[in-house]
Chain A
């Protein structure tokens, strides 16, 4: 990979502080505003589920697959459970899986990216080679295999998704760290005798952090997406209700042939909204933050693929 173009230096945006910049971006892009609104509403519903959910989660409150009515706005599912209640709790589990898996992948990807970018040399070569291999191997079959061998549990799902999503993070962070490392203030800090740990934590990481945040938001979307896929394959935790599980349940219990479209339409709409929200916010942030990534507004999946930069960028 040619590295020259990864090092194109971009002056930090107007010298304003980075945190203010994130908020500024969020406020001035309509797409980001819409995305953030969706995410906040869904998160509120999920967090407050135990207080504002209209019915208890594990209680049959009416006939199986009852139609939507004034008492049950979105109808009942195959166990006679209120769909509104189910969606709130489901969103909670899905968000927890999404964020926890992302945390795992951020930790791995961040560490690999910082190490490779900061130390360079053979460390960089070895780590990036490993990343390359992981990048080419398709995620989902690998997730299925690991989850199938390990057995279904929420914890396993989180780890499995987390350890397979770190590659794009590692690449983005590495490129950024490489450019930050060459900046004058880092060199001065080194000249003053600062150790590696200090330079990384006080000078490099704060510069990379906003990008890491943007990447996190995009990865959450992918993690939630993957969770629904694993649940649909019957690899989800049988004792918890995630949105993926709700969809799988409705499919397995033949909600469609029973004519109970409400049992299957709404969970999917909710997942779509969450992923849309994450993509909009993450895309807008990344767009504004990542000067070298001209393809940044492509959204989560493209971004998770090998970014165009780094392979034949002349063509772009």
Chain B
């Protein structure tokens, strides 16, 4: 079974990558000079009891190699230390942040895939026309814009029309379910739009070239010879096959989604993981910073694995 081979190989690769990331995290934070960085127990204003507990948990008086083992053990239990800022466990802070980030990022990414696929297909189908020139150049334009700047431009454009910061209206006292949902939706619109616009340009270009390639295949000629309508050919014959590289590339742009989300959350004061990274950097909250780093890295690796497996499912021919 070469198929299972491929799947197992991919899973093994993901596991090793996660291990590399986890170790990198240890090296970066525990072996760097400066006790404030390396010493998780240096929580400002903490009681001696808390400090001693942390010291004991992470074996901070032991050698670095022993600390590494203890670090892995604690990590398996989800213990990432205590935030310097609010003295809450890092894992708890991050859990709240992830729940806030996910809807915004999901909506933004879906939006970009939708617009990207649509404009990409149009550009390929209308090759050599002004329509293509227009779609491709606007895609390139949005692609070249710094994410944070695009967010600020949208704030300038929509100030007063849509809420430009935070996740909910704090003055909305005791809202009903629908009112709360509407409030949330209006707050999510601009950040998600920013993410969508910064990402879609890349997808347009990918979809366009994947489509151009499939449109040159023999089966498209056959479909035309059969007298099928152009749009049916595009939808059923070309796009289906063009979806393969698109899946991979969308998955591989996850790193950019992460980077985009960090910048966007700062601009729109969205209380998610990206903003947690920002605040951790500002306040030199190292336990939070390493927790967020691990979380972002591992989720990208896992999403990559999912993409690999999905790719295999879509095209069983590949067995490496």
A112 at the binding interface (Cβ < 8 Å): no
On chain B, the residues within 8 Å of A279 by CB distance are 140, 143-144
Cβ of B184 within 8 Å of any chain A Cβ, yes or no, is no
Size class of the A contact interface (CB-based, 8 Å): 35 or more
Q: Are B296 and A312 in contact (CB under 8 A)?
A: no
Q: Judge if B60 is at the interface, Cβ distance under 8 Å.
A: no
With an 8 A cutoff between CB atoms, is B266 at the interface?
A: yes
Q: A271: which B residues are within 8 A, CB to CB?
A: 145-146, 149
One of B103-111, B166-174, B286-294 contacting the partner? B286-294
Enumerate A151-200 residues with CB–CB distance to B below 8 Å: none
B69 at the interface (CB under 8 A from A): no
A10 interface contact, C-beta 8 A:
no
Question: Residues of A contacting B140 with CB < 8 Å?
Answer: 276, 279-280, 299
Chain B, 130-166, contact with A by CB distance < 8 Å: what is the 0/1 string? 0000000000110111111110110110010000000
Which of A106-161 touch B at CB < 8 Å? 132-133, 136-142, 144-146, 148-149
Chain A positions within 8 Å of B34 at CB level: 149
Min CB gap B294→A, angstroms: 9
Q: How far is the CA of A146 from the CA of B13 in the complex (A)?
A: 24
B32 interface residue, CB < 8 Å from A?
yes
B254 adjacent to A138 (CB under 8 Å): yes
User: How far apart sit A271 and B143, CA to CA, in the bound complex (Å)?
Assistant: 12
Residue-by-residue, is A273-299 near B (CB-CB < 8 Å gives 1, otherwise 0)?
101100110000000000000110111
A138, A279, A298 — most chain B CB neighbours (10 Å): A138
A137's contact among B17, B147, B155, by CB below 8 Å, is which?
B17
Q: Is the CB of B258 within 8 A of A140?
A: yes
Q: Does B50 contact A (CB under 8 A)?
A: no
A55 CB-CB contact with B under 8 Å: no
Query: CB distance A137 to B300 under 8 Å?
Result: yes
Q: Is the CB of B5 closer than 8 A to any CB of chain A?
A: no
Do A301 and B202 form a contact, CB below 8 Å, given A138-B259, A145-B28, A247-B146?
yes
Q: Which residues of A contact B29 (CB under 8 A)?
A: 145, 149
Given A144-B277, A149-B37, A251-B152, are A315 and B244 neighbors across the interface (CB < 8 Å)?
Answer: yes
Known: A137-B17, A148-B281, A294-B213. A268 touches B37 (CB 8 A): no
Q: Is the Cβ of A132 less than 8 Å from the Cβ of B143?
A: no
Q: Are B13 and A132 in contact (CB under 8 A)?
A: yes
Interface set, chain B 261-283, CB cutoff 8 A to A: 262-263, 266-267, 277-278, 280-282
Given A138-B254, A279-B144, A299-B202, A133-B311 contact (CB < 8 Å): no
CB distance from A160 to the nearest CB of B (A): 12
CB–CB A312/B21 < 8 A: no
Kindly identify which residue among A133, A140, A256, A299 contacts B20, using a CB–CB cutoff of 8 Å: A133
Which residues in chain A, 1-58, are within 8 Å of chain B measured between CB atoms?
1-2
| B293 x A142 contact (CB < 8 A) | yes
Closest to B285 in A: A148
Q: Which residues on B sit within 8 Å (CB–CB) of A315?
A: 244-245, 315, 317-318
Q: A136-B304, A145-B293, A301-B202 are in contact. Are A1 and B253 (CB under 8 A)?
A: no
Q: Tell me which residues across on chain B come within 8 A of A136, comparing CB atoms.
A: 17, 300-301, 304
Who on chain B is nearest to A147 by CB?
B281
Nearest B residue to A264, CB-CB: B152
Which residues of B have CB within 8 Å of A138?
254-255, 258-259, 296-297, 300
Name B267's closest neighbour in chain A (CB-CB). A251
A261 to B256, CA, bound (A): 27
B318 and A312 form a contact (CB under 8 A) = yes
Does B100 make an interface contact (CB < 8 A)?
no
Chain B residues, CB < 8 A from A142: 24, 293, 297
Cross-chain contact B146 with A229 (CB below 8 angstroms): yes
- Can you offer 12 A-B residue contacts whose CB atoms are under 8 A? A133-B20, A137-B24, A140-B259, A144-B277, A229-B146, A233-B277, A234-B282, A264-B152, A268-B152, A301-B202, A306-B252, A308-B248
The 6 A-B residue pairs with the shortest CB-CB distance, nearest first, are: A268-B149, A140-B259, A312-B318, A138-B255, A275-B144, A305-B252
Further pairs besides A144-B289, A145-B290, A229-B259: 6, Cβ < 8 Å: A138-B297, A251-B267, A261-B156, A298-B202, A299-B205, A314-B317
- Which A residues fall within an 8 A CB radius of B? 1-2, 132-133, 136-142, 144-146, 148-149, 221, 225, 228-229, 232-235, 244, 247, 251, 256, 261, 264-265, 267-268, 271-273, 275-276, 279-280, 294-295, 297-299, 301-302, 305-306, 308, 311-312, 314-316
